[in-house]
């Protein structure tokens, strides 16, 4: 593959944008090399500025579940743009997409739209704190809920400890209200609750984690969290920014038949435009301004252009009865193919998958939490990543990410991908 134009563009970008990117993971820091600059995309394919084509396994980090430039989204955005892009007033479109989302997702009666997953999760914990009148939250090492201060927390040593900031700029005052637990470790959560009686407003979790690679919940884990929250007047927040409308029409709540108190969304719900959302039963959501005292606002929240894209996407998902079965079959086909190939190679590996979220970890041990995910051999991952990139296969430029499968992938694309993996596996 030639990357000359991307290299040139990256050098120019670095002059005017910190690190040349508007989101750090795009800079290829974890895998080295120069990020590729994409010129266009269609269906399952990306086309870079050097004219290279890639089969895309990131899909803008989740949104393109129906493929890039999905025609109903493109058409609705073009038509809506002609009517004006944003008014700062209520529009009928917001009610339409809100009603559709509520019809698709269990246990939510009202939804508030914002502009990113970060905003959705940040607002959800403020709402939980306002509703319960308690300050602390529990999050899980390895789970990412966006870049607002309360989430950029790294535990000190030990399990039942106060968090410490893992980014400059996050104050100790903020960090002390975030407790860090170990994913899939119910006992650890129970210890934290016992050590902080009547102080914890919410537990926020990626119910199927995707930010330490794909790490599914072990049997009984989510159910156990639900019981602990109900018994201790703690709100259970499912961060479904990745899993919402991807793992099932109703997300993980539907998949596992578990009730969250607040659910956050992003990515798919915006159809590729900046949209986040948070939702709950009316008793909780009615605490939000202008009805209640918990303040939350946004100039472009619910703007017609983003709502038009999101509505076309949700309609496409809602009206396609076979979508999730196809996604399951395609991703299982990919998983089985990768397993067969890597089993014949010299490398230690494990593959985690749930539905259309999948990740490859270069370590033999099971990956069930951040600690075990961190054991992956990054040198091997780097070779795997660049080897595939050179073969026109674009996977996440970090071992701590999940791959997002799009329904636009054909079995020919999957076989092409497996042939590339077979070729790269020989170099690992």
Please name the residues in contact with 378: beta carbons below 8 A apart, sequence gap of 6 or more: 30, 362, 399
* From 136, 249, 267, 382, active-site residue: 267
CB 132 within 8 A of CB 198: no
359 binds ligand KE4 (CB under 6 A): no
* From 239, 363, 407, 413, active-site residue: 239
Among 6, 59, 118, 359, binds ligand KE4 (CB under 6 A): 118
Site string for ligand KE4, 257-296 (x = CB under 6 A): ---------x---------x--------------------
Whole-number minimum distance, CB 94 to ligand KE4, in Å?
19
Whole-number minimum distance, CB 121 to ligand KE4, in Å?
5
CB 288 within 8 A of CB 112: yes
CA gap 354, 328 in Å, rounded: 8
Query: Hunting for tokens 């970060």 — which residue is that?
Result: 118
Residues 157-216 that bind ligand KE4 (CB under 6 A): 206, 210-211
Report the 10 Å Cβ neighbour count for 422: 16
70 given a catalytic annotation: no
Q: Tell me the residue number closest to ligand KE4, measured at CB.
A: 117
57 binds ligand KE4 (CB under 6 A): no
Stretch binding ligand KE4 (CB under 6 A), from 117-125, 175-183, 212-220, 224-232: 117-125
Whole-number minimum distance, CB 276 to ligand KE4, in Å?
6
Report the 10 Å Cβ neighbour count for 401: 21
Among 145, 182, 246, 353, binds ligand KE4 (CB under 6 A): 145
Task: Name the residue nearer to ligand KE4 (CB basis): 143 or 409.
Answer: 143
Stretch binding ligand KE4 (CB under 6 A), from 29-37, 173-181, 235-243, 352-360: 235-243
Task: Name the residue nearer to ligand KE4 (CB basis): 163 or 272.
Answer: 272
Whole-number minimum distance, CB 229 to ligand KE4, in Å?
19
239 given a catalytic annotation: yes
Among 401, 403, 406, 413, binds ligand KE4 (CB under 6 A): 401
Among 65, 121, 179, 393, binds ligand KE4 (CB under 6 A): 121
Task: Name the residue nearer to ligand KE4 (CB basis): 118 or 356.
Answer: 118
Half-sphere CA count of 352, side-chain side, radius 13 A = 30
Among 155, 241, 247, 367, binds ligand KE4 (CB under 6 A): 241
CB 61 within 8 A of CB 23: no
Among 43, 146, 207, 355, binds ligand KE4 (CB under 6 A): 146
Size of the residue set binding ligand KE4 (CB under 6 A): 19
36 prior amide bond cis, ω within 30: no
Task: Name the residue nearer to ligand KE4 (CB basis): 35 or 316.
Answer: 35
Task: Name the residue nearer to ligand KE4 (CB basis): 211 or 406.
Answer: 211
Among 7, 8, 19, 25, binds ligand KE4 (CB under 6 A): 25
219 given a catalytic annotation: no
Residues that bind ligand KE4 (CB under 6 A): 23, 25, 61, 116-118, 121, 144-146, 206, 210-211, 239, 241-242, 266, 276, 401
> Which residues are identified as catalytic?
144, 239, 267
């Amino acid at each position: 593959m030639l990357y000359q134009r991307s290299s040139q563009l990256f050098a120019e970008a670095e002059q005017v944008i910190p690190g040349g990117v508007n989101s750090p993971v795009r800079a290829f820091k974890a895998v080295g090399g120069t990020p590729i600059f994409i010129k266009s995309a269609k269906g399952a394919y990306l086309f870079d500025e050097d004219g290279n084509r890639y089969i895309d396994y990131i899909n803008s980090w989740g949104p393109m579940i129906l493929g890039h430039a999905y025609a109903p989204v493109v058409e609705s955005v073009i038509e809506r743009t002609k009517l004006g892009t944003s008014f700062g007033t209520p529009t009928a479109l917001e009610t339409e997409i809100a009603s559709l989302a509520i019809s698709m997702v269990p246990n939510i009666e009202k939804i508030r739209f914002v502009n990113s997953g970060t905003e959705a999760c940040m607002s959800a914990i403020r709402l939980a704190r306002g509703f319960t009148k308690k300050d602390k939250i529990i999050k899980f090492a390895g789970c990412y809920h966006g870049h607002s201060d309360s989430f950029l927390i790294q535990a000190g040593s030990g399990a039942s400890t106060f968090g410490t900031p893992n980014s400059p700029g996050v104050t100790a005052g903020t960090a002390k209200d975030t407790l860090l637990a170990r994913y899939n470790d119910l006992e650890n959560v129970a210890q934290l609750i016992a050590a902080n009686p009547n102080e914890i407003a919410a537990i926020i979790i990626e119910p199927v984690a995707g930010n330490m690679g794909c790490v599914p919940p072990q049997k009984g884990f989510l159910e156990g969290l639900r019981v602990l929250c109900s018994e201790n007047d703690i709100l259970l927040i499912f961060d479904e920014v990745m899993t919402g409308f991807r793992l099932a029409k109703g997300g993980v709540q539907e998949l596992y038949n578990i009730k969250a108190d607040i659910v956050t969304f992003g990515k798919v719900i915006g159809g590729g435009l900046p949209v986040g959302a948070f939702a709950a039963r009316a008793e909780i959501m009615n605490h939000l301004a202008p009805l209640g005292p918990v303040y939350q606002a946004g100039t472009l929240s619910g703007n017609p252009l983003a709502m038009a894209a999101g509505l076309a996407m949700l309609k496409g998902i809602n009206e396609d009865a076979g979508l999730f079965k196809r996604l399951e079959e395609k991703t299982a086909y990919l998983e089985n193919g990768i397993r067969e190939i890597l089993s014949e190679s010299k490398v230690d590996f494990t593959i985690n998958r749930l539905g259309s979220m999948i990740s490859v970890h270069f370590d033999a041990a099971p990956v069930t939490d951040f600690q075990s995910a961190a054991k992956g051999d990054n040198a091997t991952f780097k070779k795997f990543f660049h080897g595939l990139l050179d073969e026109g296969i674009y996977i996440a430029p970090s071992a701590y990410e999940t791959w997002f499968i799009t329904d636009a992938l054909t079995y020919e694309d999957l076989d092409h991908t497996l042939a590339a993996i077979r070729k790269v596996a020989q170099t690992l």
